[in-house]
């Protein structure tokens, strides 16, 4: 499908951005950034395809991006305890040693933006977070840090979500990205509406960046999983709602999510679908379903496309998935996505 036709279809669906009321309440808690390293150079713009071949343009910082195993695009584990789910899915996707090396600096970005308890499925499960941290520790990472730019007050969200308890028990810093000094100005090579942005230094300067979203519905973008979770890596999320063009009414948020994804790729995505929020997202309360599932992939688009099915949707129901596939970020067509059970 050509881009003009795709945009026209989405515009006819009446997709529109939500109000900025929730964003206006986002907390700003001062924290101190760590010593900066020099980020790796950014590569050239990407072409368009339905494949995951990002190359150097897929990184703004020093974190590695690499393709997953040849025989699997998305590894899935089901019907086990959360720790077992994470371990099984990661092992099926090449094992933690394929992604985290000894002495690596690892930054983990869960979705812990909301003042909700784990059972409400608005934030990444603390058990899943703990399992990912434990795997990185077993891989002998030099430094592991968990970061989030929360919408509700971080001191509340970090406690209610269970993330603070987990990080304290495992001896890992949990950092609120609530100070503009904690970000670096970068150029987004694939940005249609947003050409430059401030991206968290902790992510840009890590060797490994692990995206750790939860699967849930979203009032503005239909779903939020891997691609949407990256909005928590930038300073001004409100700009992603505001910046747009007259030629694509209602699509600007989707386009801006993709613009960031073209240039910023996680090393690995671990998707928490142990519980999923079917309605009322992103914050809820809403209908929660226990799914006892974890997905693992280096391809954000493929992971999001499969995650859509867990919510009873098709990838084509979510505009940013199709746009991201067109931009070459990853695979958006379920027929071409190789899913392997752990």
pLDDT of residue 44: 25
Sequence-ordered list of residues with C-beta below 8 angstroms from that of 326, at least 6 positions apart, any chain: 3, 6, 48, 50, 332
Closest to 238 in 3D by CA, of 28, 65, 40: 28
Stated pTM of the model: 0.85
| pLDDT confidence bin for 282, thresholds 50/70/90 | very high
In what helix (H) or strand (E) does residue 174 lie, and over which residues does it extend? Answer: strand 174-176
Position 54 pLDDT exceeds 60: no
CA distances from 279 to 20, 59, 215, 217, 301 (A): 20, 33, 11, 6, 22
In whole numbers, what is the pLDDT of the chain averaged over residues?
85
| pLDDT confidence bin for 59, thresholds 50/70/90 | low
- Provide the domain limits for residue 164: 3-31+58-341
* Domain annotation covers residue 212: yes
DSSP of 30-90: --------PPPPP-PPP---SS---GGGG-SSS-------TT-SEEEEESS-HHHHHHHHH
* Domain annotation covers residue 88: yes
Closest to 85 in 3D by CA, of 51, 117, 130: 130
* Domain annotation covers residue 77: yes
* Domain annotation covers residue 48: no
pLDDT digits (tens, 9 = 90+) for 151-200: 999 999 999 999 999 999 999 999 999 999 999 999 998 888 999 999 99
Q: How many CB atoms lie within 10 A of CB 174?
A: 20
* Domain annotation covers residue 40: no
Position 213 pLDDT exceeds 60: yes
- Rounded (10°) CA dihedral 39, 135, 71, 78: -130
Between 8 and 341, residue with greater pLDDT: 341
* Domain annotation covers residue 73: yes
Domain count across the chain: 1
| pLDDT confidence bin for 106, thresholds 50/70/90 | very high
Residue 182 is part of a domain; what is its CATH number?
3.40.50.11440
* Domain annotation covers residue 53: no
* Domain annotation covers residue 50: no
């Amino acid at each position: 499908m050509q881009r003009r036709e795709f945009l026209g279809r989405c515009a006819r669906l009446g997709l529109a951005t939500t109000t900025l009321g929730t964003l206006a309440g986002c907390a700003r808690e001062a924290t101190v950034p760590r010593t900066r390293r020099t980020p790796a150079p950014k590569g050239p713009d990407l072409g368009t395809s339905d494949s995951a071949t990002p190359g150097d343009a897929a990184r703004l910082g020093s974190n590695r991006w690499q393709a997953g195993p040849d025989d699997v695009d998305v590894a899935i584990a089901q019907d086990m305890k959360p720790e077992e789910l994470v371990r099984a899915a990661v092992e099926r996707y090449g094992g933690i040693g394929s992604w985290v090396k000894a002495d690596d600096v690892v930054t983990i970005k869960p979705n812990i933006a909301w003042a909700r308890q784990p059972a409400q499925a608005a934030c990444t499960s603390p058990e899943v977070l703990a399992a990912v941290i434990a795997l990185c520790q077993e891989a002998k990472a030099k430094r592991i840090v968990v970061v989030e730019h929360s919408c509700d007050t971080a001191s509340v969200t970090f406690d209610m979500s269970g993330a603070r308890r987990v990080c304290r028990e495992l001896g890992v810093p949990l950092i609120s990205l609530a100070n503009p000094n904690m970000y670096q100005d970068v150029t987004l090579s694939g940005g249609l509406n947003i050409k430059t942005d401030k991206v968290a230094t902790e992510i840009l300067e890590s060797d490994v960046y692990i995206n750790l979203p939860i699967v849930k519905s979203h009032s503005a973008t239909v779903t939020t999983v891997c691609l949407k979770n990256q909005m928590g890596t930038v300073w001004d999320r409100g700009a992603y709602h505001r910046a747009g063009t007259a030629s694509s009414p209602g699509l600007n948020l989707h386009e801006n999510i993709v613009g960031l994804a073209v240039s910023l790729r996680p090393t690995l995505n671990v998707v928490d679908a142990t519980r999923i929020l079917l309605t009322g997202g992103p914050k809820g309360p809403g209908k929660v379903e226990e799914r006892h599932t974890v997905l693992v992939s280096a391809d954000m688009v493929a992971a999001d496309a499969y995650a859509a099915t867990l919510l009873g949707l098709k990838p084509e129901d979510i505009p940013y998935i199709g746009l991201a596939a067109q931009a070459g970020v990853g695979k958006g067509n379920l027929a071409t996505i190789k899913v392997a059970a752990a």
